[in-house]
């Protein structure tokens, strides 16, 4: 009987570490999802020092075109949703390379959303099992560790972004997209709407949200005992 109990405890420990791995995935993708709303575009274009478009887009025009691009990423329309767009002079808003990349981005985001939802559902199901199956402490410990791991990893990423964003940006895109397919001219619409500053801020915001949520989870789960004692 003791051997069976030991085996059961070992299984629960493994499940606790699975939870630890799931938490960073869920938190990062939650942060990404929170930024995929039009209000973020309004906020970002209004931040002090945001670079103007040297080719002539006003802030209002940037908001107009960027919101359409964001809508494409959320809807079930084909690339013609963007491909049919024209400026007042009749020229296309996006060229073929930009359109191909937007298709790739839409696919990547759709896959990310599936992973995000799967991680949340799995964490919830494991939580129910842990509560009813008598291994809640292992579940709670896994959540706390996951929160700490999320915060520490993201803080490292933020430091890298601040020190060498260009290198990080290239490496990130080469992981998720075919090399070269995401590079454009300064005069292309995607660069004019979403300059390097935009993406640097995105990574910082995602990191800050993830780290904040991770530390909150760690605190609630008792993985930050010094903070818990200090507030008593």
**What pLDDT, on a 0 to 100 scale, did the predictor assign at position 4?**
65
pLDDT score at 9: 72
Which parts of the chain have pLDDT scores under 50?
1, 226-232
∠ CA 184-61-209 to the nearest 5 degrees?
70
Tokens of 61: 């025009």
| pLDDT attached to residue 228 | 42
| Long-range pairs, 84-91, Cβ under 8 A, ≥24 | none
Q: Where are the alpha helices (DSSP H) in 38-195?
A: 38-45, 59-74, 80-83, 96-133, 136-176, 189-193
Q: Which two tokens stand for residue 58?
A: 């006003």
Helix axes 38-45, 59-74, angle to 10 degrees: 150
Question: Whole-angstrom Cα distance, residue 117 to residue 21?
Answer: 15
Tokens of 140: 């709670």
Q: How many CA atoms lie within 13 A of 28 on its CB side?
A: 19
pLDDT at 197: 94
Kindly report, residue by residue over 113-170, the tens digit of the pLDDT: 999 999 999 999 999 999 998 889 999 999 999 999 999 999 898 888 888 888 888 8
How far apart are alpha carbons 232 and 228 in whole angstroms? 7
- The answer to whether 116 and 35 have CB atoms below 8 angstroms apart is no
Domain residue spans of the chain: 2-230
* Rounded-to-integer distance, Cα 89 and Cα 52, Å: 22
- pLDDT score for 3: 67
Q: Which tokens belong to 114?
A: 């599936």
pTM to 2 decimal places: 0.89
Whether 177 and 106 have beta carbons less than 8 Å apart is answered as no
Instruction: Say how many C-beta atoms besides its own lie within 10 A of residue 47's C-beta.
Output: 10
Let me know: does 146 contact 23? Beta carbons within 8 Å. Answer: yes
Give the CA angle between residues 139, 18, 142 to the nearest 5°.
30
Spatial contact of 214 and 149, defined as CB atoms under 8 Å apart: yes
- Report the length, in residues, of the chain: 232
- The Cα angle at residue 50 between residues 157 and 38, in degrees rounded to 5: 80
């Amino acid at each position: 009987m003791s051997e069976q109990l030991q085996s059961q405890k070992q299984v629960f420990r493994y499940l606790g570490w699975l939870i630890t791995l799931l938490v960073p995935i869920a938190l990062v993708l939650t942060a990404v999802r929170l930024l995929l709303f039009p209000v973020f575009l309004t906020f970002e274009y209004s931040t002090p020092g945001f670079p103007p478009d040297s080719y002539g887009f006003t802030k209002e025009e940037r908001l107009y075109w960027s919101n359409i691009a964001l809508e494409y990423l959320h809807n079930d329309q084909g690339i013609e949703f963007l491909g049919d767009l024209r400026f007042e002079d009749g020229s296309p808003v996006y060229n073929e390379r930009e359109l191909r990349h937007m298709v790739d981005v839409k696919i990547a985001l759709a896959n990310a959303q599936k992973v995000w939802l799967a991680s949340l559902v799995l964490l919830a199901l494991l939580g129910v099992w842990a509560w009813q199956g008598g291994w809640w402490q292992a579940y709670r410990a896994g959540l706390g560790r996951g929160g700490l791991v999320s915060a520490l990893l993201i803080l490292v990423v933020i430091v890298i972004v601040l020190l060498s964003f260009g290198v990080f940006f290239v490496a990130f895109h080469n992981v998720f997209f075919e090399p070269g397919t995401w590079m454009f001219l300064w005069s292309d619409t995607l660069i004019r709407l979403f300059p390097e500053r935009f993406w640097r801020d995105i990574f910082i915001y995602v990191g800050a949200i993830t780290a904040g949520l991770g530390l909150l989870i760690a605190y609630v789960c008792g993985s930050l005992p010094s903070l818990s004692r200090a507030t008593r």
